[in-house]
Amino acid sequence: MHLTQAEQKVLDGKQGPMLQKVMKTLVLYGEALAAERLVDLDWGGHFSIPFALPGVGPRLEMLDELAEAGLKTKYPFTLDPRAPADFETLGVSPEQKALFLDMLSDQPAYDARMLQLGLRDKNAYTCTPYFPEVGNIPPRGAVLAWSESSCVVYANSVLGARTNRNAAILDLLSNIIGKTPLTGFLTDAGRRANWLVAVKTTKRPNPQLLGAAIGIKVLEDVPFITGLDRFLSPALEPSTIDFLKEMGAACAAIGAVGLYHVENVTPEAVDQGKNLLRPDYRTYTIDDQTLEALFASYPVMWEDPQARPRKCMVGCPHLSLHELHGWTARICDALQAAGRDRVAVETILCAAPQIIQKFKEDEKAYGRLKRSGVKLTDTCPEAYMNNRLCAREAVVTNSNKFRAFTTARMYLDHDLIQIIVGGRV
């Protein structure tokens, strides 16, 4: 890989051994990916390393080395949702709480290191940093080094920014150097589609199912999706944004999609249309039967498949403000229609701290939700299930990503609301 003189000096250790080590990592990584050179980052990072859990978070010793050398990211960064510590909201038992405290014993030290290394602020924890209330919104064309698969696919596809699917820690090191290897989605060629996915459903598909169907088929390739614009507004209005967020998270987590184009909707597809397709593209058609068969294929992973649901978690990825209002209205209206005051299943909605704060400012909506017994949290449902005692509970959700990574059981939104109100599957 070609390095500039300034980059070579860093690699030679002229700016200290720690920065040399960081640059060495980045150069070896770039060479493995056959990148020509490094390019400057234009915007702050978003990283998928919010916990001190072994195997997920970096070792504290490594963070200490970086912090003690006075290193910091070029721009402030945001992190995935904070570790589950609001035990009352999550309704954990004493045993579950004890296990969480043991699992996350390094978390306070970890959070402190992250602030030292450039975390934007103490509330910069969410998997939807790109919403206006949170404000990590890179402009179109900006070069990034993000991780968290659902954020990468959103930044590339909906915002038109440019980031590869970086691994945790490499994202941090790239943002310390302020550069990333020029390869993959950073190049025009890497952003062209090699699949035409034709959506031929008779009604607006469930985004979480549609995303999964696409991800399973195309894996890490780039799909150009037609037929979806029938169901989405051409302007990126809140309901369209929500749909794209949900679909993207599923195709990124269940496949490995880092970029999709939706004809007449996403920015590059609006500008370039089918010219984005490579000459050798393949075609995949999705209809109602495709999605029904996929949904029917999901196994029940509960210890007791006949169990009554113990908990409902919605918000993987975190809910937008628009979705939070939507879930509030649908749950409360369904309760009213059933002649009930409170939900029959402990229900937790997950969103960014800034979005929860904004929602609470709407006293009428917040009051209504609170009276229904539904709780709000800014943690991550998947992180909750990392606790093996929590993972044994019968949890229901509408999230395909949450289902795929845990023992949670997925239902479509309408059915999930009936479960929340009635208490039975």
Q: Which range of residues in 30-38, 134-142, 281-289, 332-340 is near other proteins by CB under 8 A?
A: 30-38
- The one-character DSSP state at 273 is G
Q: Binding other proteins by CB under 8 A: which of 45, 57, 84, 211?
A: 57
Contact partners, residue 310, CB within 8 Å, separation at least 6? 345, 346, 393, 394, 395
To other proteins, the closest distance from the beta carbon of 34 in angstroms equals: 7
167 binding other proteins? (CB under 8 A):
yes
To other proteins, the closest distance from the beta carbon of 12 in angstroms equals: 16
Whichever of 219 and 338 has its CB closer to other proteins, that residue is 219
Cα→Cα distances 401→82, 317, 380, Å: 18, 8, 12
18 binding other proteins? (CB under 8 A):
no
Contact partners, residue 261, CB within 8 Å, separation at least 6? 157, 193, 222, 223, 224, 225, 268, 269, 276
Q: Which range of residues in 8-16, 49-57, 114-122, 312-320 is near other proteins by CB under 8 A?
A: 49-57
49 binding other proteins? (CB under 8 A):
yes
168 binding other proteins? (CB under 8 A):
yes
59 binding other proteins? (CB under 8 A):
yes
The residue behind tokens 């978003």 is: 46
Give yes or no for a contact between 194 and 222, defined as CB atoms under 8 angstroms apart. yes
Q: Which range of residues in 146-154, 243-251, 263-271, 305-313 is near other proteins by CB under 8 A?
A: 146-154
256 binding other proteins? (CB under 8 A):
yes
148 binding other proteins? (CB under 8 A):
yes
Q: Binding other proteins by CB under 8 A: which of 1, 7, 29, 78?
A: 29
Q: Binding other proteins by CB under 8 A: which of 79, 90, 158, 169?
A: 169
To other proteins, the closest distance from the beta carbon of 167 in angstroms equals: 3
Q: Which of residues 126-145 bind other proteins (CB under 8 A)?
A: none
Q: Binding other proteins by CB under 8 A: which of 166, 320, 354, 397?
A: 166
To other proteins, the closest distance from the beta carbon of 120 in angstroms equals: 19
Q: Binding other proteins by CB under 8 A: which of 3, 18, 60, 62?
A: 62
Q: Binding other proteins by CB under 8 A: which of 24, 37, 204, 310?
A: 24
Burial status of residue 270 (CB atoms within 10 A of its CB: 0-12, 13-18, 19 or more)? middle
Q: From 333, 355, 345, select the one nearest 126 (Cα to Cα).
A: 355
Contact partners, residue 7, CB within 8 Å, separation at least 6? 23, 38, 179
* Helix orientation angle between 321-337 and 353-361, rounded to the nearest 10 degrees: 60
To other proteins, the closest distance from the beta carbon of 188 in angstroms equals: 18
| CA 290 – CA 413 distance, rounded (Å) | 19
Interface pattern 182-211 for other proteins (x via CB under 8 A): --x---------------------------
Whichever of 112 and 167 has its CB closer to other proteins, that residue is 167
303 binding other proteins? (CB under 8 A):
no
**What is the longest distance spanned by two Cα atoms in the chain?**
72
Q: From 48, 32, 184, 57, select the one nearest 24 (Cα to Cα).
A: 32
392 binding other proteins? (CB under 8 A):
no
Q: Which range of residues in 29-37, 133-141, 275-283, 341-349 is near other proteins by CB under 8 A?
A: 29-37
Whichever of 32 and 115 has its CB closer to other proteins, that residue is 32
DSSP 15-41: T-HHHHHHHHHHHHHHHHTT-SBEEE-
To other proteins, the closest distance from the beta carbon of 157 in angstroms equals: 16
The residue behind tokens 């949670």 is: 408
Q: 396 pairs with which residues across the strands?
A: 312, 409
The encoded tokens of residue 365 equal 């909506």
Which phi and psi (to 5°) does residue 199 adopt? -90, 115
Contact partners, residue 130, CB within 8 Å, separation at least 6? 136, 137, 138, 151, 154, 155, 158, 159
Q: Which range of residues in 17-25, 114-122, 337-345, 354-362 is near other proteins by CB under 8 A?
A: 17-25
To other proteins, the closest distance from the beta carbon of 21 in angstroms equals: 6
164 binding other proteins? (CB under 8 A):
yes
The residue behind tokens 């179109």 is: 140
111 binding other proteins? (CB under 8 A):
no
Give yes or no for a contact between 286 and 196, defined as CB atoms under 8 angstroms apart. no
DSSP-derived 3-state class of residue 378: coil
**For binding to other proteins (CB under 8 A), which residues are involved?**
21, 24-25, 28-29, 31-34, 48-49, 53-59, 62, 147-149, 152, 164-171, 184, 219-220, 253, 256, 405
